[in-house]
Structure 1
Amino acid sequence: MKLNRKNFLLGTAGLLFGSAAIRSLFENIRGEKMMQKLPVFFVGHGSPMNALGPNPLADTWAESTKDFPEPKAILSISAHWFTKGTYVTSNQSPPTIHDFYGFPQELFDVQYSAPGDPKLAEELSKSKDAQVIQDDSWGLDHGTWSVLRNMYPKANIPVVQLSLDATKPGEWHYEFAKSLSKLREQGVLVLGSGDLVHNLRLYDWKNQDKAHDWALDANETFKDLIQKRDWKSLANYQKLGTAVQIAIPTPEHYFPMLYALALADEKEEIRFYNDIIQSSVSLTSMKIS
């Protein structure tokens, strides 16, 4: 066939159409659209009162979602669902859980009425890396909603919570979390919510703005290891010295950070924000993208 401008344009259009058709076919086979890879967050949520903006923490949480597309769903790993075994919320309409006491009624009145995502829960329950049990008795605790009501105040994005197995060590949690990496390319935002340093027994309520020396030391140790991407040392935190042992009397607020780090690609940037310590609680947070 003699090549002329008309034939060239027709051929080019055919190639473009063919590529689109192949891409569409591939997406249909996968059953999902190819999406932009979403960031991963670890948020130091601190006191439930931080949910009631405006305040510097709430404002930063709100700002952190402005530079990427709205997620199809959110998977939250909260410090406040610490269980024997691994569970995932399967509710169609998960309730707002007020898992605290001694706070103003204004906080108990908060409702974060985001829908659940039973299909995502079912997908997670099929994990080959751990036995994940679907659970409709839990909902969204304050580790989740106190942050999300500022990140996504419309509460229009489905949210699923994954519990932390109290019987497993840090290294197990880090390795299991790797199996969640595919969710980032399926439009699911993964959020770890806890505190790097969390020792309420040593919290000085009269001097909240003054950080304990050991809390500062532990927080800097964690940040240094994160920047070095020394995941093994972070997973085996018990060997990191006295300051860290005081900072983590129980691991439920620390483990969500391991989930976020497990999903970080080698070339992705890890950015710290809200790098504040209140007495014996660290609010240091990370965005990985």
Structure 2
Amino acid sequence: MTRATALPPLFLSHGSPMTAIQPGAAGAFMTALGAQFGRGALPRPRAILAVSAHSLARRPVLLVAPQQHAVYDFGGFDPALYELRYDAPGAVDLAAELQQALPEMLQTQAMSGLDHGIWTPLRYMVPEADIPVLPLCFSPQARPEELWALGEALAPWTERDVLVMASGSITHNLRRVFQGGAAFDAPEISESRAFRDWWAAQAAAGNWSALMDYRRQAPHAVDMHPTDEHLLPWFIAAGAGGVASGAMRLHESVTFGCLGMDAYAFGPQAAVLASALGSAPPLPGQFA
């Protein structure tokens, strides 16, 4: 039985590296989200297990170090980005627990470094950088079903005050962003809106089979995700939340007209978090 204080796994769209200094609506949401842990609706995490679209490996690997720090895995952006720091403790004890419990599923590697998909949200959520962070790399060749199974295996730790934070982007076609020359606050293109609406509807209904088959079933799927890696972390968080509960969209916004910034929570406590943030949960038969 899931105890009342289990932490709901999250999927956060981190957007462009510029989100770190150009927060927009998503940055304001992440700040409000962080305030709910420890001081708000939910307990303070003892550690954050972070899964990012920018930390990839051939198979799941935990990056273990006593201290973690921001790495700048991008180029050609505002020089101010390279001055930002995020130095957080590494969750060495959690890594040992996970590797001992799931030896066939997880490997460990002695390595430090948080990619921008991790430290950008955490700068808003945990600005003090005082919660240990453990990055988990995944394979971009993994099928959604495989990543769901990985999330299911991680689910017990949500009841041990571990926050599973998956980071990617609900829509992610950088060719459209860079070639279109769209402004940060450009109106959303219809293809992005159709994809995000379809995803939110299936998620609210718990239509997991359709979501796992999104490249065939979702409108404009290949356009909005020419490659899968920015959406695949969603399935790890969803698996950690469990099949019994639907997914709750906590936030929706768009930057550059096509880069979706939606955020989701999973599991029985998702509704508690949504209520605390002022996001009314969908009624049965309705979609977010």
Q: TM-score range by the shorter chain?
A: 0.7 to 0.9
CA distance in 2, matches of 1:228, 1:122: 36
- Name the structure 1 match of 2:155: 181
Partner of 1:259: 236
1:63 to 29, 32, 54: 32
Matched with 2:171 is 197
Please list the CA deviations of residues 13-67 of structure 1 after superposition, one character each: whole Å capped at 9, or x if unmatched.
xxxxxxxxxxxxxxxxxxxxx8821122111110112122664322211111322
Structure 2 SS opposite 1:192: strand
Distance 1:269 1:215, change over 3 A: closer
- 4+ residue stretches of structure 1 with deviation over 3 A? 126-131
Q: Which segment drifts farther, 203-212 or 67-76?
A: 203-212
| Matching of residue 38 in structure 1 with residue 7 in structure 2 | yes
Q: CA, structure 1 residues 38+250, in 2 after alignment: closer, same or farther (shift >3 Å)?
A: same
| Pair 107,125 (structure 1): closer, same or farther in 2 beyond 3 Å | same
- For 2:103 and 2:238, the matched residues in 1 are separated by 18
Provide structure 2 residue ranges, at least 5 long, that are not aligned to the other structure.
271-288
What code does the residue aligned with 2:143 have?
P
Equivalent position to 1:210, from 187, 191, 207: 187
Q: CA offset at residue 276 of structure 1? A: 2.7
Deviation at 1:285, TM superposition (A): 0.9
Q: What is the CA–CA distance in structure 2 between the aligned matches of 1:54 and 1:221, rounded to whole Å?
A: 26
Identity of aligned residues (%): 27
Distance 1:200 1:211 in 2: 14
User: Residue 248 of structure 1 aligns with which residue?
Assistant: 225
Structure 1 residues not aligned, in runs of 5+ = 1-33
Contact in 2 for aligned 1:215/1:277 (Cα 8 Å): no
Residues 223 and 138 from structure 1, CA distance in 2 versus in 1: closer, same or farther, beyond 3 angstroms? same
Matched positions, count: 256
Task: Describe the superposition over 1:262-289 as per-residue Cα deviations: whole angstroms up to 9, x where unpaired.
Answer: 1225357724313335323111111332
SS in 2 for 1:252: coil
Change (3 A) 1:277 1:111: closer
1:231 Cα deviation after fit: 1.1
2:72 aligned counterpart, secondary structure: coil
1:170-202 Cα distance to aligned partner (Å, 9 max, x none): 111112211111111101111111011101012
Partner in structure 2 of residue 104 of structure 1 = 78
Q: CA RMSD in A?
A: 2.1
**Cα drift, residue 83 of structure 1:** 1.7
